Every structure is written in C-alpha cells, then in structure tokens.
Amino acid sequence: MAAVALETLKIYEERKIGEHVAEVAPHFQKRLRQMAEHPLVGEARGIGLIGAVELVKDKATREMFDPKLRVGMMASNNCLPFGLILRGLPFDAVGICPPLIITEQEIDILFDRLWQGLDATAAALLPKAA
C-alpha cells in the first residue's frame, strides 16, 4: 500500500500537479464565491480545489429546508442533466471536488453547470413570484 502511495506522489511531482493546483485554485475559489449570489445559496466555502455550497430556503434568515427533502441530493441530481456529477451531502449542501488536473476553462464550465442545476432545484422548491 505504501508503495502505491509513494508512486502516486512521484507522478504528482513529475507532472507538477501541485504547481498546477496552485495556479488554478484561485480561479476555482473566485467562481465558488460567486455562487453565493444564487437564490438558493446561503454560503459558498472552500479551500484549494475543494468547495461546498450550502443551500437555504431563505437567504435573508438562512432558514434551512426540511431535512426530509434532502435538498443537497436533489441539487446534485439536478446537475446530472447538465453533465455535472457532484456530491450531494446529507445536509443541505453540495460538495465540489474536481480532478486536480482541471483547467480554468473547465472550472468555468463546472460552475456554469452548477448554476443551471441550482436553478432547476430552485424552480422545484421556492415559491414562484406572483
């Protein structure tokens, strides 16, 4: 098992994966923070190439949805038609952890598709404007 881990670290070093992550992570975090503007997002948080968006019923009060709705899973499922696979968390959040080799262009695609999936989720959950 240790031999596999050491070989993995060797490949990461040879391919400069750490340097690549350091280059693209600021763009990932910028796009992640922009998700806070979505009507469903109470908080967008992360570090490096790991992020999560917390989904709320009311942005002003940060009121959560009924846990029985499993909104994190619903949002994750609503991203699938847009070609995005995310991790719906058991509480009202979606986890985002792309491959370490993701490019800035792919980061933009990821967050554009996440926005679309959240729009679909909001359409199903939030009251329509009169």
Tokens (6 digits) for 45: 């948080």
Rounded-to-integer distance, Cα 52 and Cα 72, Å = 10
Query: Can you tell me the mean pLDDT for 106-115?
Result: 98
Task: Give the residue carrying structure tokens 């847009």.
Answer: 82
Tens of pLDDT, residue by residue over 32-79, are 999 999 999 999 999 999 999 999 999 899 999 999 999 999 999 999
**pTM for this entry:** 0.90
Domain boundaries, the chain: 24-125
**Strand arrangement of the beta sheet that strand 93-96 belongs to:** 41-47, 50-55, 93-96, 87-89
Rounded-to-integer distance, Cα 75 and Cα 41, Å = 11
Rounded-to-integer distance, Cα 102 and Cα 38, Å = 23
Backbone angles phi, psi at 73, to 5 degrees: -70, -40
**DSSP-derived 3-state class of residue 88:** strand
The pLDDT of residue 1: 75
In the predicted model, is pLDDT for residue 104 greater than 90?
yes
Rounded-to-integer distance, Cα 37 and Cα 109, Å = 17
Closest CA to 120 of 62, 58, 38, 28: 38
The pLDDT of residue 129: 46
Q: Quick one: fold of 24-125?
A: Aspartate Aminotransferase, domain 1 (3.90.1150)
The pLDDT of residue 101: 96
The pLDDT of residue 127: 72
Tens of pLDDT, residue by residue over 111-122, are 999 999 999 999
